[in-house]
Structures are given as structure tokens and as C-alpha cells.
Amino acid sequence: MHKYIKENISKLLTIFILLQPVLDLITGVCVNLLNINITLGIIIRILFLGLLMYTTVFIYKKKFSLYTYLALAIYSILYLIGIIIYKDGVVFYELQGLLKAIYFPIVLVSLYDLKDEYQVSKQTLFKTLFIYLVLILIPNALGLGFESYKITKSGSLGFFNAANEISGIISLLTPIMFLIIKDLKNKILKVVYVLIYLIVILTIGTKTPLLTLLITIGFTYLYYMIHCIKKKTYKPLAITGIAIVVALSSLLLILPKTNFYKNIKVHLDYLEVDNVFEIFQEYELVDHFIFSQRLTFLDNKSIDYIESSTYEKIFGIGYTEKGEQTKLIEMDYFDIFFSHGIVGAIIIIGIYLYILYKVLSTDRKIDFENYMVKLSIFLILLLSFFTGHIITAPAVSIIAVILILDNMKVPKLKKKGKKKKIKEVI
């Protein structure tokens, strides 16, 4: 078994990543149609986590991973003791919230320790993105998809369940799509991919993918502008700039017919605001429209935290109150701090920042490929703060981990006294 895992670790990881859309599809069907909370997706992701931990500790004997697992295990016990003593919440929801919070650091540490042993190609990430897109496009075209929102707003998410999580995955993989499409020689395929992408992000109704697209276009043009200025080739720069303006103008003409625009209009009508610029005149309007009341949720959660016991301040106030799930802030860093306390935040976010520092301090030439990967890391940091469901959602966090670690150089491996490059698995 050890030999098989060593020889096939890249293949196993690649298969797991490609399975993510299928697992999320099964989860959506189970939750929405069968009313089942413990799904096949959860079970497979837990088994994958177990396999990673077994591989790092018993096959490759990585001490950094082992110490991290022990720290998280001790913290988890102390957290659950606090929940039992100070709360009357439902243990199932507390375990679910705990698992979601520690999933990201465990996968991050494990794959960081195994970074020399595997490779996942950007083609794999690109294929994963378009499996998600197609699995949204087809049900939506047939009028069979689930609604992105429970009330008022428009949008359909195919047979997926969590709009914020799927939007997060699409957003993080947008720079990778740019990278792959840039090198694609078949122009018809380029057009098809772009059309599918645009149709999906405009019909699911959420703001994040469209805003991410605009950010990616802006950063891509910035890279191209610097490249052209260095080479003193200004004509292609001007032509590209004009093309972007035309494309964005066309997008503005299409927007009024999309679910994205309808949702913006519904939101403005609800707030009794005539135009978007009035939003920035009042704190409450900014909170409601821009942050979807996350600042209000932050205030409420901070009050709960201040009123909690010292033990809860240290180890977390959890996810339930009086047998009911409490509302998440949906800003990952704050959710981790309040739900898991000072100790939990130090361990979880500390691991994240340490590995992020090691990754970004890696000496690597900034070409377009590495530039787009760094853009994805920037999006992970940005979206984790503003929209959440990035490092606290297992489905999204596995993608985030692969993107973060992709920034590092892949050194040669020694095997039986000979050097051997890792073969990229597509």
C-alpha cells in the first residue's frame, strides 16, 4: 500500500480534485431533494483527509505535519469541552463547524510537506472549473436548477447547493482560465469557453465571480502594459486596451438582461435607493448593499464574544446557541476568531500565514504563469476577508491550497540514487 501511494500520489490528488464538482453535485441533490445532511461528499472528503494524514505521518514521516495534527487535536478536545460545559448547542453542528475550520490547515500543512512528491497541472484546475460551469449551464438551460437564493433574488445554481462556495471556486480559478485560454490555439474553443463562463457567472446571480472577472482583466492588462512598455511596443497595448473597452461596453449592454443585474435592482429597490452612488452616503446602506450585512453580523458576534466566559474567549464560542445554529459573519478570519477563540485563531491562521510566508518568499521568476497564480493567491486573501466561504469551506479550501502551493518551485526528486523530475498529471 505504501508503495502504491508513493507511486500514485499525483494521480490520486488529481482524481480527487476532478471529483470536486461531482461531490458538490451529489451534496446539492442530497440536501435539497433528499434532506440528508451527511452526504457522500462529506464522507469522501473526510476519507481523503485521513489518507493525507496517514501519508504524511506513516509513509513520509513528516514531523511538521505530525506536530500540527497534534496541536489541532488537543485544541479540538479543549474546544469541545468548552461547548459541553458552557453551551447547550447541538454537538453535530459544532463538530461540523469544527471540521470545516480545521480542514484547510490540515490539507495545507499536509500538501506543503508533500510538495516534493506530487504535481497537479493547471489543466486539471481548468478542467475542474469547466466541469462546474457545465454542470450549472445544462440544468439552468433546461430550467431544472436550484435557486441561488431562498427569497427575492434571482439566480440558478444547477444542482449545486451552496451559492457562495461555488462562486468562490469559480472566482479563484478565473486567473487559471485566463492562463490556459491565452495559450489555446483553437480560436473556436476559446470563444466557447469564454461564452460558457460568461453565461454562468451572469445567470447564477452572485456578485463575486463578475467582480473577480473585472479584477482579473485589470491585472492582466497591467501585466501586458508593463511588458509592452519594457519592449517599447505601444501599438499592441493600445489595440488591446480598445478591445477591452469594447468588450466591457458590450458586457454593460448585456447586463440589464441578466440575473446579476436583476438582483442589483431588487437590492436597490429594497433599500429605496435610486442609484448605486447613493449607497456610499450612509454606513447602513454600505453594510447592506456592499457587505450583505456582514458588518452587522460582525457587531452581533463581537457582542456575543465579549459576553462569553473566559474559557470561551480562549477556545471559542462555537456555532450554536440554545440548540440553534448561529449566523456566521461570512468573513472567514472573523468567523475563525470568534468561533474558535484566541487559541484556535492562533493555530489555524498562524499555520496559514507561516506557509503563505514560505510560499511567497520562494525565489521564482515572475512570468505570466506565476503572475496569474499570485493573482489567485491575492483573490484567496481578498475573498476570505470580504465574502467568506474560502478557507472555511472544504470544497473551496482544497482548490485554495493547490493554488497557494503552486507558487513554489518543484524540485527534483531523488529515487534509488538517481534524480527524476516529477511528471505532471493532467
- pLDDT tens digit string along 246-281? 988 888 888 888 877 777 878 777 787 777 777 888
Q: How confident is the model at residue 422 (pLDDT cuts 50, 70, 90)?
A: very low
SS3 at position 414: strand
In a domain, 302, yes or no: yes
User: Mapping DSSP to helix (H, G, I), strand (E, B) and coil, where does residue 264 land?
Assistant: helix
115 assigned to some structural domain: yes
Q: What is the pLDDT of residue 423?
A: 41
- C-beta separation of 409 from 362 below 8 A: yes
- Distance of alpha carbon 410 from its chain centroid, rounded? 23
pLDDT at 140: 86
Q: What is the pLDDT of residues 91-130, one digit of tens each?
A: 888 999 999 999 999 999 999 999 999 999 999 999 999 9
Q: Is residue 425 part of a domain?
A: no
Is the pLDDT assigned to residue 425 strictly greater than 60?
A: no
Assign 290 to helix, strand or coil. Answer: coil
> How many domains is the chain built from?
1
Does residue 111 sit within a domain? Answer: yes
> Average pLDDT, stretch 129-143?
92
Asked whether residue 319 is assigned to any structural domain, the reply reads yes
Structural domain for 27, as ranges: 2-420
* Residue 159 within any structural domain of the chain: yes
pLDDT attached to residue 250: 86
CA distance readout (Å), 140 to 30, 96, 199, 208: 19, 30, 10, 19
When the pLDDT of each residue in the chain is averaged and rounded to a whole number, the result is 88
Reported as a pLDDT band with limits 50, 70 and 90, residue 414 is very low
Alpha helices by DSSP H, listed for 33-59, are 40-54
Q: Are 382 and 171 in contact (CB under 8 A)?
A: no
pLDDT at 409: 52
Collect all residues with Cβ–Cβ distance below 8 Å to 254 and sequence separation of at least 6: 202
Q: How confident is the model at residue 51 (pLDDT cuts 50, 70, 90)?
A: very high
Q: What is the mean pLDDT of residues 35-41?
A: 75
**Contact present, 135 and 158 (Cβ < 8 Å):** yes
Residue 426, in any domain of the structure: no
pLDDT at 292: 85
- What pLDDT, on the 0 to 100 scale, is given for residue 417? 43
CA 197, CA 399: separation in Å to the nearest integer? 18
How many residues are present in the chain? 426
**For residue 412, is pLDDT > 50?**
no
User: Cα–Cα distance between 302 and 86 in angstroms, integer?
Assistant: 17
pLDDT exceeds cutoff 80 at 187: yes
Residue 89 lies in a domain: yes
